[in-house]
Amino acid sequence: MPARQHFSSGNIWEQRAGFSRAICVSDTVYTAGTIAVDKEGKTQGADCYEQCIYICKLLGGILEQAGSSLQNVVQVRAYLVNKKDASDFTRFQRDVFGDIRPVATCVIVSGLFGEGTVVELELVAVDRAQA
């Protein structure tokens, strides 16, 4: 079994709920579903697009800790509370990942944790030297 390397964003819920923000196994980095909430628990971003950008910055830092980057993302999963936010997600996907074109899934869900949270993202990226 390949060694697993765990990464944390420092969010208190990672410790309380017993999960890692990301895990690197072999040449792949998997991130946990992430919402636009800061370490104090305050939702960041007024709309879906802004929340996606906030999440992407947070996960970009985690990917860099793992030796990868947003440029190495091969899969994006998005969970939206409102179907009307699909256009914001599509714009985000195009603006951030349009040049690398990872596979993407967007699902409408009935709710997410966090007051005012409208989107949750998961990313999968290839690792450092393997990219």
Task: Give the mean model confidence (pLDDT) for residues 22-42.
Answer: 93
The pLDDT of residue 16 is above 80: yes
- The angle subtended at Cα 86 by Cα 127 and Cα 115, nearest 5°, is 85
- The full set of domain ranges for the chain reads 4-126
Q: What is the pLDDT of residue 96?
A: 98
How far, in Å, CA of 21 to CA of 89, rounded?
21
The pLDDT of residue 130 is above 80: no
The pLDDT of residue 36 is above 60: yes
SS (H, E, C) 43-101: ECCCCHHHHHHHHHHHHHHHHHHCCCCHHHEEEEEEEECCHHHHHHHHHHHHHHHCCCC
The pLDDT of residue 127 is above 60: yes
The pLDDT of residue 2 is above 80: no
Q: What is the pLDDT of residue 34?
A: 97
The pLDDT of residue 110 is above 80: yes
Q: Tell me the backbone φ, ψ of residue 60, rounded to 5 degrees.
A: -60, -40
How far, in Å, CA of 20 to CA of 45, rounded?
23
Task: Give the mean model confidence (pLDDT) for residues 58-78.
Answer: 96
Looking at the domain 4-126, which fold is it? 60s Ribosomal Protein L30; Chain: A; (3.30.1330)
Which residues, in sequence order, are CB contacts of 105 under 8 Å at separation 6+? 75, 76, 77, 78
Q: pLDDT tier at 40 (50, 70, 90 boundaries)?
A: confident
pTM: 0.92
How far, in Å, CA of 124 to CA of 121, rounded?
10
Q: What is the pLDDT of residue 31?
A: 98
